[in-house]
Amino acid sequence: MAIEITSQSLAGAHPDETAAYKESLPRALSGFPATDRSVSRSRFWHPTPRWTRRNFSSRATELSGGTAIIVSVPKSGRTWLRAFICAYFCKRFGLEFTLRPGRYDLPEFPRVVFSHDLFEHRTKGDRWDRVRGKYLVPRRELNRAKIILLARDPRDCFVSLYLQLTRRDPNAPLRLRQKTVSEMLRDEKFGMRSIVSTMNDWLNEFSERENFTLVRYEALRASPSEHFRDLLAVLGESAPDATIFQEALEFSRFDNMQKLEAAGAFDSNILHPGDVRDPESFKVRRGKVGGYREYLSVEDQQYAANALAELDPRFGYSF
């Protein structure tokens, strides 16, 4: 399959609840060419203490019981994936569209857990939240369910996250909302290096697992029909209905989702703009690949490139 990476293929590769912020060939790399950079893997390996996978908060239940677990840095495109998955399976079972399919309590509808996992663990809540692992997917769930790591160019993730914190999220503290893009880029928690570090830690933790799939946002944008079909296969839908599949693709197009968000048509807070008069405050904003160049100065782009050089080359992003 075009987006599935087994532990063997990764090992042989060469160098995408509101809370206050307190195959084994290059083809398997979702359309990305294999990099010819020679980089020692140890440079990117940072062991994660086992206790960080302990979640003894009440929120552990919300992060459990999924057919699959999709983890990602914020602004990697998971709302797009969620909209497509929900559109497909709601249509498939004759249900009204919802971004909260759990309300139907239908066993045949695959339960997909979406989590920012380590990123939220390091940026949200307080010290007690981190001690009890409130935002971490429990280890037993990662051993049981299929793991999908949704990756996006960290530079594009950062810019979208910056706009969310400063234009969309009313819960973001004042000190963050007042930061310039240059200041946020270098922020210890929300800057480029934090994003890169989290992505590296996930890949190091998951890459040897047989139940792991890496999906790249850029590949989905380049060929949504091919890669969404592969995504459904990971969820157990190996022979999707062609008509329903096409309807789900059309429904989840960016321009359609933007119109629906502006009209307040979604039944979830996930898709509501911060200010309908401000296009930059929409959840579905642009989704442009390489759009970071329009927001970062030449100096900031160089800083971002230097940070990107620390990203595990197996992700396939160049700087």
Q: Which of 89, 132, 133 is closest to 115 using CA atoms?
A: 133
Crossing angle of helices 298-308 and 154-163, rounded to 10° = 120
Mean pLDDT for the stretch of residues 266-287: 49
The tokens describing 194, both together, are 């934090």
Quick: pLDDT tens for 100-153. Answer: 888 888 989 999 999 999 999 999 989 999 999 999 999 999 999 999 999 999
Residue 259 banded pLDDT, cuts 50, 70, 90: confident
pLDDT at residue number 319: 67
CATH superfamily of 7-312: P-loop containing nucleotide triphosphate hydrolases (3.40.50.300)
Spatial distance between the Cα atoms of 74 and 118, rounded to a whole number of angstroms:
11
Annotate 88-97 with b (16+ C-beta within 10 A) or e (fewer).
bbbbbeeeeb
Assess contact for 235 and 110: CB atoms under 8 A. Answer: yes
The secondary structure of 251-266 as a DSSP string is HT-HHHHHHHHHTT--
Quick: pLDDT tens for 163-211. Answer: 989 887 778 888 988 999 999 999 999 999 999 999 999 999 999 999 9
Assess contact for 131 and 179: CB atoms under 8 A. Answer: no
Quick: pLDDT tens for 291-308. Answer: 899 999 999 999 999 999
Spatial distance between the Cα atoms of 85 and 82, rounded to a whole number of angstroms:
5
Average pLDDT, the chain: 81
List the alpha helices (DSSP H) in the chain.
7-11, 78-92, 117-123, 127-131, 139-144, 154-163, 174-177, 181-185, 192-206, 217-222, 224-234, 242-251, 254-262, 298-308
Residue matched to tokens 């234009």: 167
Assess contact for 116 and 150: CB atoms under 8 A. Answer: no
CA triplet 27, 30, 36: central angle to 5 degrees?
A: 65
In degrees and rounded to multiples of 5, residue 127 shows phi and psi of -60, -40
The secondary structure of 174-226 as a DSSP string is HHHHT--HHHHHT-TTTSHHHHHHHHHHHHHHHTT-TTEEEEEHHHHHH-HHH
Torsion of CA 258, 262, 266, 272, to 10 degrees: 100
Least confident window among 5-9, 76-80, 256-260, 266-270: 5-9
Assess contact for 201 and 48: CB atoms under 8 A. Answer: yes
Spatial distance between the Cα atoms of 279 and 252, rounded to a whole number of angstroms:
18
Amino acid symbol at 177: R
- Burial of residue 36 (CB within 10 Å: 0-12, 13-18, 19+) is exposed
pLDDT at residue number 255: 78
Domain boundaries, the chain: 7-312
pLDDT at residue number 30: 43
pLDDT at residue number 172: 84
Supply the pTM of this predicted model.
0.80
Mean pLDDT for the stretch of residues 213-217: 95
CA distances from 167 to 12, 79, 177, 187, 196 (A): 42, 18, 8, 17, 23
Spatial distance between the Cα atoms of 21 and 175, rounded to a whole number of angstroms:
11
The DSSP bridge partners found for residue 212 are 147
The tokens describing 103, both together, are 């309300």
pLDDT at residue number 239: 94
Task: Kindly tell me if the per-residue pLDDT of 24 is higher than 60.
Answer: no
268 compared with 233, residue with greater pLDDT: 233
